[in-house]
Amino acid sequence: MKIKWLGHSAFRVDIAGAAILIDPFLTGNPGAKDVDLKAATQGITHIALTHGHGDHVGDTIKIAQETGATVIANADLAAWLARQGVEKVDMGNTGGTIFHGPFSITFVNALHSSATITEDGVSHSLGNANGLVFHFEDEPTLYHMGDTDIFSDMALIDELHRPEIGIVPIGDRFTMGGAVAGLACQRYLKFSTVLPCHYGSFPIIDQTADKFVAAMEDANGTKVEVPKAGDTLSV
């Protein structure tokens, strides 16, 4: 498996038989200024969304229309995207699992909001925010938390899914901060590898992963990877 951080909460995951974009906020993403956007979207087969905020939906509509990728999202968000011209959507909701050939996605809880305001000034409720758990045929299980605070039922997510790779928001203000994210990873989850995200992009959130790295110093058995935007991690 190859995981490329595209800045903010956007990632590309490549496995045999699929190339998945998660929360592809690329255009206008300050954290993606050094990322080759054409390369980041080339060959994409699926787009998976944690929730409906603009810094997560991002370029979904354009990428889906250009590549023919299937967009996987909660039911409200998927239906809204279909009305915007996305032809291939597959909807689920909290607790449900969707199967797509070499992988599946389970929608799990996240403590956050999910809505958008369109250019006409109308607010659209786009369902609940989620974390996404990816199970692969021959790769470690990956848990992208989306935007969230810590919550004790993360322990149930660990018990049910045993995720080995964690993608964790740490930027504070809109999500948990680095110290709390570190607590979540140590108290409730047993990741072998963890990647921080949702930081360093906008000036009002934390600019570095330092607090998270410090909080994970005593996390025996968990490797903290802090890539630069555009870097690829092989797992």
Residue type for position 221: G
Q: What is the pLDDT of residues 15-70, one digit of tens each?
A: 999 999 999 999 999 999 889 989 999 999 999 999 999 999 999 999 999 999 99
Location of structure tokens 């996605």: 105
Residue 170: inside a domain: yes
Domain with 111 in it: 2-227
Q: Is residue 10 part of a domain?
A: yes
pLDDT digits (tens, 9 = 90+) for 113-134: 999 888 778 888 999 999 999 9
Q: Residue 70 sits in a domain of what CATH number?
A: 3.60.15.10
- Structural domain count, the chain: 1
Please report whether residue 232 resides in a domain: no
Does pTM top 0.85 for this prediction? yes
Does residue 88 fall inside a structural domain? yes
Decide the pairing of beta strands 130-136 and 142-144: antiparallel
In a domain, 108, yes or no: yes
171-191 pLDDT, tens digit each: 999 999 999 999 999 999 999
Tell me if 155 is assigned to some domain. yes
Distance CA(82)–CA(200), nearest Å, equals 32
- ∠128-190-234 over CA atoms, to 5°? 90
pLDDT in tens, 212-233: 999 999 888 999 999 999 999 9
Kindly state whether residue 233 falls inside one of the protein's structural domains.
no
Is 234 part of a structural domain of the chain? no
